[in-house]
Amino acid sequence: MGTEIKTTSVRLDTRLVDKAAKILGVKSRTEAVHIALREIVAMNEFKKMMTSFGGKLRFEGHWEQDPPVRNVGLHHPSTDRPAQ
């Protein structure tokens, strides 16, 4: 599927688009909108995949017990005490 780019006119909240552009590290509003649209489409595809495989996948990680916990002020789920 090829990319088709066309010029269009859309009314946007410029403050919101400028804020998104700054967060994304891009210079143009167009680029910020394109990235945001791609993220929405990807998120939707991910949600559909998770719904279709919900409860059917099994994690076979390499941790012997619980995964490592970073010290970010959260509680460790298995002990309910602050992470070390």
Q: Mean per-residue pLDDT for 45-65? A: 76
pLDDT confidence of residue 42: 93
pTM: 0.59
Helix H segments across 1-84?
A: 14-24, 29-53
pLDDT confidence of residue 62: 67
pLDDT confidence of residue 41: 94
Quick: pLDDT tens for 4-53. 889 989 999 999 999 999 999 999 999 999 999 999 999 999 888 888 88
Q: Where are the domains of the chain?
A: 14-51
The rounded distance, in Å, linking the Cα atoms of 3 and 39 is 16
Dmax over CA atoms of the chain, in Å, equals: 56
